Amino acid sequence: MGLDFTVLPGYFDALLLGSLWTIAIMLVSAVISFFGGILLAVIALYAPAIVRYPFRAFSFVFMGTPLLLQLFLIYFGLIQIGIDLPAFVAGVIGLGLHYAVYNSDIIQAGILAVDKGQHEGARTLGLSRGQTIRKIIVPQAVRTVIPPIGNNLIALLKDSALVSVIGVAELTLTSQLAISKTFRPFEFYIAAAACYYVINLGLEYGLRKIEKRVAVAR
């Protein structure tokens, strides 16, 4: 009985590897969610109705259902129709699409906040509608919404623990495997929490750097 943190050093390499997998999941999912959010925002605001409404229905499904259920559907459900995805791929797709929907709402607000004069100025320069959206409107909108997107990224990091349920050996699952061998849950969950906290600190530091560079670029 009692606490025994001396069991941790023997699993340091495993916890480090789990932390690296967590960072990898977070980074890949973040890229998918960022560019997917831009794509969904542009479609929602500018695409013809025949394209816009199916994508809106897609967004409602991802916003209205639990992330855990989405991961189960992607990993266990798609295999029934012949799509067999590795656990890591299924995890980053599920996380990426889930947060792409939320990023889309934020980016749409940023696009709508761009001065209408920017559209008119682009026309006088001879830019097409697509060029105006791609080169002028979206870049300005993204600059203004970096902070809330950063908040979503921090939430994504925390939710990355859910991919453990489909067998991705990230930090949470690594801790659970260590617990199954040592029967020391408190020690390993504390260690996992400390690792998540350190990763989160690094992420927040990076986001602050990005925000400062964006502010200078304005």
Q: Rounded mean pLDDT of 98-119?
A: 92
**Rounded Cα gap, residues 112 and 120, in angstroms:** 15
pLDDT of residue 70: 96
Q: Rounded mean pLDDT of 18-35?
A: 97
Phi, psi of 8 (to 5 degrees): -65, -45
In percent, how much of the chain has pLDDT > 90?
78
Q: Is the pLDDT of residue 1 over 70?
A: no
pLDDT of residue 119: 79
Does residue 214 or residue 175 have the better pLDDT? 175
Tens digit of pLDDT for each residue in 158-183? 999 999 999 998 999 999 999 999 99
pLDDT of residue 93: 97
Q: Is the pLDDT of residue 216 over 80?
A: no
Q: Rounded mean pLDDT of 36-42?
A: 95
Tens digit of pLDDT for each residue in 126-152? 888 889 999 899 999 999 999 999 999
pLDDT of residue 217: 64
CA distances from 212 to 106, 112, 154, 155 (A): 20, 23, 18, 21
* Helix axes of 49-64 and 12-46: crossing angle, nearest 10 degrees: 140
pLDDT of residue 190: 96
CA distances from 104 to 3, 16, 94, 114 (A): 46, 33, 15, 15
Does residue 89 or residue 216 have the better pLDDT? 89
Q: Is the pLDDT of residue 6 over 70?
A: yes
pLDDT of residue 126: 84
**Rounded Cα gap, residues 217 and 215, in angstroms:** 5
- Burial 24-36, CB ≥16 within 10 A → b, else e: ebbebbbebbbeb
Q: Where are the alpha helices (DSSP H) in 164-184?
A: 171-182
The CATH H-level superfamily of 5-217 is MetI-like (1.10.3720.10)
What lies within 8 Å, CB to CB, of 132 at 6+ separation is: 118, 119, 122, 123
pLDDT of residue 118: 83
Phi, psi of 2 (to 5 degrees): 90, 175
Strand boundaries in 41-99, DSSP class E: none
Residue pair 47/110 in contact (Cβ under 8 Å)? The answer is: no
Residue with tokens 């789990």: 18
The first and second tokens of residue 49, run together, are: 């109705």
Residue type at 117 in one-letter notation: G
Domain locations in the chain as residue ranges? 5-217
Instruction: Record the pTM.
Output: 0.93
pLDDT of residue 218: 63
The first and second tokens of residue 48, run together, are: 């013809």
Residue pair 122/172 in contact (Cβ under 8 Å)? The answer is: no
Q: Rounded mean pLDDT of 29-40?
A: 96
The first and second tokens of residue 22, run together, are: 């967590």
Residue type at 68 in one-letter notation: L
Q: Rounded mean pLDDT of 79-83?
A: 94
Other CB atoms within 10 Å distance of the CB of residue 163: 28
When the pLDDT of each residue in the chain is averaged and rounded to a whole number, the result is: 93
